Structure 1
């Protein structure tokens, strides 16, 4: 995987703007190549920052399967991304007439299998996993499969679609590596190719680590940029650890540290106050997140307080998609495999697509489309 990511970084291929071709790897002694690299990086970032495009997902499918019981196992409801998706599932479930029950693992490994066991004991017709790693909890998923209970998830694997080797029929997600690439390219573009970066990740999960590796590969491909270090901080302990880690990194790198990249906005919730306490101006450091799009991130971006961007997930939309994919399985049909395009939220576009409500909620009519699919008013 690392070799593949490095190969990509050297070519810098942005699928967000595939029509723009390949980003050439910059050559330090060739100013023209460096300028071309930056120009194309900016085009990729600008494409990702455009308002939501018209709906390009499914438009037909089975009618709502009525009176189903759905168990929702959430990785950690303190995480804004997880909470946003759960809210979307609950909203859509009400439309189709399903009852739901939530089981929160609070981000602790010892609770994951227990919550899955509790979910199984609730005798659900379907299981929705929000966050986590499907392969890591495979022993807890097998009993559902043995009882022919369909399973869908959000961010439970590195790629969207069915999760090989598990009974998860559909992992709903944007393209996580594209999210990571756009985040890193945004840092490079706004720094003029001079970003000095620290990346925050959680190696306890495969997906965050792969996103962090993808960001690192892009930074390393920028000849004028420097990857200062990659720091492993468990998401579940970010409140406890990030203040001290941030102070330590400031003491070590000082003004050399210009950009913080993270696999989730939650790291910045606890790093930003430390930067303010240290007396740093809001523009002294730029924070960009490869995923989530939490309320606090929107507030920081809108106030221009350190955070300059988040590649926000359409959390509520993903919740509706989870319900639609589950409905198809309950009707004996196949999942859609739909992947929503990547979107970068910045101060320039934050007012669009739900930004006034501190979330990314694409204004493409997805709710009405799903209602028509389900034939629900």
Structure 2
């Protein structure tokens, strides 16, 4: 799987938007600058909830690149959104005596018995979107994510700022802690807006979006009609599939805004203006892949997690038009920063 170049815009900081970012115009690094040297020779299992999720696939690629710098062996396992398969992957990791497991979107509250056995075996657990908040918890040494409430707030406030009387449908998957945190934040913003109406929260499993979105659009349009003006979603995957159903329903007027993850497909269609998705709140998934490696390296060295939390970025077509062909993530030197730490060249701790 190749990393699409359009993902590189995720680390963009646009001060005029008034939203958080993690680099200034000069590419200043806000992440960790001190930590233990690299701990080579480790075996790590990256257990993905579902590699069809673009965010999970992208963060895995970035992590694998960082792991090569550290001399680690990485085994990728696709859970295919199947809890039985995910439980079996834990058993296999214990059997092969892995040093660590990364939960790529796998919910830490799901396979709790397996997590307990992994910890008993001395295997380090680090998550990406494994719980709703960044940092340690639920048996994880660290969970790498932006603050989902902030991501959702930015997406919802885009609607309240740019629409006169929006009627909003929220698409979510309530199996995931992060999704539920995002929904609550979006709900709070929309309900606090006197001009706005929260029509419903539509629960559609991420793994079933392709099969269910056409029916969901038809049902929602029949129920709400012209009152439905905007869609919010906890992931870009919903808007990968919504465009043709909206066109078939004659609803070219509905605007779609995603509260994560800033997938390559979403950024491509926003840039081209070829769909009704007008914005996404992007996570710096490349940087987060390297952070996963750094958090694991700290665990292997017996030191605490970094405490670093990356910040989300609102991405719209005007923002992307202003970029041209520039690869803005090159201004954020996360790879260089982490390599300096791992090579023992950081400043005083």
The reply to whether TM is greater than 0.5 is yes
Q: Does 1:241 align with 2:209?
A: no
How far residue 239 of structure 1 moved from its aligned partner, in angstroms, is 1.1
Which residue, 301, 315, 318 being the options, matches 2:270? 301
Within-5 A mapping of 1:198-209? 198-209=169-180
Within-5 A mapping of 1:4-19? none
How far residue 349 of structure 1 moved from its aligned partner, in angstroms, is 1.5
Aligned to 1:370: 338
TM-score by length of 1: 0.82
Q: Does 1:286 align with 2:255?
A: yes
Tell me if structure 1 keeps the 8 A contact 2:261–2:280.
yes
Aligned to 2:9: none
How far residue 361 of structure 1 moved from its aligned partner, in angstroms, is 4.2
Q: Does 1:267 align with 2:238?
A: yes
Q: Does the C-alpha gap of structure 1 residues 230 and 114 become closer, same or farther in structure 2, counting only changes over 3 Å?
A: same
Which residue, 55, 70, 77 being the options, matches 1:96? 70
Tell me if structure 2 keeps the 8 A contact 1:265–1:294.
yes
Q: Does the C-alpha gap of structure 1 residues 329 and 50 become closer, same or farther in structure 2, counting only changes over 3 Å?
A: closer
Larger RCO, structure (CA 8 Å, separation 6 or more): 2
Q: Does 1:345 align with 2:319?
A: no
Unaligned runs of 5+ in 1: 1-42
How far residue 235 of structure 1 moved from its aligned partner, in angstroms, is 1.0
CA distance, structure 2, for counterparts of residue 353 and residue 149 of structure 1: 43
Tell me if structure 1 keeps the 8 A contact 2:54–2:264.
yes
Secondary structure (helix, strand or coil) at the match of 1:273 reads helix
Q: Does the C-alpha gap of structure 1 residues 50 and 172 become closer, same or farther in structure 2, counting only changes over 3 Å?
A: closer
How far residue 52 of structure 1 moved from its aligned partner, in angstroms, is 3.8
CA distance, structure 1, for counterparts of residue 146 and residue 297 of structure 2: 20
Give the aligned length. 328
How far residue 111 of structure 1 moved from its aligned partner, in angstroms, is 2.0
Q: Does the C-alpha gap of structure 1 residues 174 and 252 become closer, same or farther in structure 2, counting only changes over 3 Å?
A: same
Unaligned runs of 5+ in 2: 1-13
Within-5 A mapping of 1:1-377? 46-48=17-19, 52-53=23-24, 54-163=28-137, 166-192=138-164, 194-281=165-252, 284-304=253-273, 305-350=275-320, 361=329, 363-375=331-343
Secondary structure (helix, strand or coil) at the match of 1:345 reads strand
Give a deviation string over 1:77-125, Cα, whole Å, max 9, x none. Answer: 0000111111111010111111100111111222221222222223211
CA distance, structure 2, for counterparts of residue 68 and residue 354 of structure 1: 40
